[in-house]
Amino acid sequence: MVTWNNLDTLASYQELKDTAKVNLAEVMTGENGAERVKNYSIPMAAGFTYNYAAKAVDDNVLAALVKLADEAQLADKFKELYNGAVINTGENRLVLHHMTRGQLGDAVTADGVDKRAFYVEQQNRIADFANKVHAGEITNAAGEKFTTVVQIGIGGSDLGPRAMYLALENWAKKNNTFKMEAKFISNVDPDDAAAVLNSIDVAHSIFVLVSKSGTTLETLTNESFVKDALKNAGLNPSNHMIAVTSETSPLAKSDDYLAAFFMDDYIGGRYSSTSAVGGAVLSLAFGPEVFADFLDGAAEEDKLAANDDVMKNAAMLDALIGVYERNVLGYPSTAVLPYSQALSRFPAHLQQLDMESNGKSVNRFGDPINYVTGPVIFGEPGTNGQHSFYQLLHQGTDIVPLQFVGYKNSQIGTDVDIQGSTSQQKLCANVAAQIVAFACGKADENRNKNFEGGRPSSIIIGDQVNPKSMGALLAHFENKVMFQGFLWNINSFDQEGVQLGKVLAKRVLAHETDGALKVFSDLLNI
């Protein structure tokens, strides 16, 4: 039987706190370091490997983490989740994003519907629609093909799909699967929508409006912005727009849209890239087959995350080490550092995924907790980040754990050989050097040039950024965040902290303000 207990009540957590700390610089130096790199590694899906040699762990710490995983029942809790238990206690909902890419356990029925069948149905409907758009069977009023797709959404309806699109755009062009250019409108700032609309031919554009409730203020405001532009161009908006929404929303059966594809309340926005939220825009941009490969990669990684052996479960071990760093070692933030320009917006997606999920100070029952939870997540692709904030990472007063992502091969394959090495080799050389530099440091009598080392990192190594590998990478981090929420005994699947600002913003717009809120409103000329 699964029990939900606060982290600080677990005997294994106390044991973990008492376990001797590891001198990372020492264990990563010389042959010891070489052996760690060879042995501290776990295979992942889609050709990835999770290597944690440069984390401040040893066999003793790992043994304590395994005990913690067992006592916290991480594997059992995941099983309950994918078998349809009400895991989202704040909203009394199931959590079913895994079901969008496969079925790990039992059939799950909710609202009288087999949910796996429902998600497959929506994927098939999207695939049929996308194929008809690409074939010219669905066109604009003049009978001309659509050439651009624009997603209108915010938060999880934007960050994940945008990150995935940018990650795969060049791959698709190289592999002749690029169908339509994709653009994204998210910010309610009118300059965002105006800039996108000025960059496209609206007559040949199809717009995807994403709002689960059909009432999201920012998204509906941007929809009106787009509709106004279409009308000003002499076009009927209903010929250019589709909706991704819930079946019960006002958008679901509206004549304002060419089609509506459905999501449900069991998938949070930040977990929705593998649902219709990502499916519509990515299938239109790259073709349904590419999106299907993306889902396959995620499904493969989910299967590995269901393994109850911690040392064969990269997502679970990554989560455990992260909690060790946060709660025992006291590190307040984590940097995500992909050494691929294709992943330029992936850290931004992970910011939402992690901080919206685990930025909580009460447990899943609403009781205050006495320990820290989710870290601050930030990041930037290498090598740009090296010339930005790595100074603080190397020599700052806070130790910041690092999560590198690196690839053996580039996407496009175009490269040059300069001074005996290619650009891709130089990129990979930089990430390898940074891992060792952070871990081992460098002694120097000049304190300004002295590097203490002891800065922990892991790296996920893959062959290439492609649809399957992106699905696997996304699923890894989704599952890591989930396992950490289980460990902290918090609800990783609601986001009440986002709602307060929305409520107050509506009050401001209705001029129902007083005190500081009224003065700020006046200062901003609202």
Which sequence positions are flagged as catalytic? 356, 387, 502
Amino acid code (one letter) for 384 = N
Asked if residues 48 and 473 have their Cβ atoms less than 8 Å apart, the reply is yes
How far is Cα 323 from Cα 330, in angstroms, rounded to an integer?
Answer: 9
For β-strands 457-462 and 421-422, DSSP reports them as unpaired
CA distance 290 to 428: 27
Q: 497: closest CA among 383, 362, 377?
A: 362
**Nearest by Cα to 5 from 88, 99, 74:** 74
User: What number of other Cβ atoms are within 10 A of residue 262's Cβ?
Assistant: 20
As given in the structure block, the two tokens for residue 265 are 């309340």
**What is the C-alpha separation between 319 and 310, in angstroms, rounded?**
10
**Residue 17: other Cβ atoms inside 10 A:** 12
Strand pairing category for 421-422 and 417-418: antiparallel
Q: Which helix (H) or strand (E) holds 405?
A: strand 402-407
Cα(418)–Cα(424) distance, integer angstroms: 11
Q: List Cα–Cα distances, 57 to 81, 99, 131, 456, in angstroms.
A: 29, 34, 50, 9
Of 263, 258, 260, 259, the C-alpha closest to 246 is 263
> For the chain, first and last CA: distance in Å?
55
For residue 429, the surrounding DSSP H or E stretch is helix 423-440
Q: Write the CA distances from 415 to 154, 204, 410, 512, 524, integer angstroms.
A: 36, 34, 9, 59, 50
Report the SS3 class of residue 484.
Answer: helix
Residue holding tokens 């790992």? 62
Closest among 310, 333, 240 to 69, alpha carbons compared = 310
Phi, psi of 442 (to 5 degrees): -155, 120
Helices (H), 175-216: 190-198
103: amino acid identity, one letter: Q
**Cβ contact 270:308 at 8 Å:** no
CB 451 within 8 A of CB 437: yes
For 413, how many CA atoms within 13 A lie in the half-sphere containing its CB? 6
For 6: left if phi > 0, alpha if psi spans -120 to 50, otherwise beta; the answer is beta
Token code pair at residue 225: 């912005």
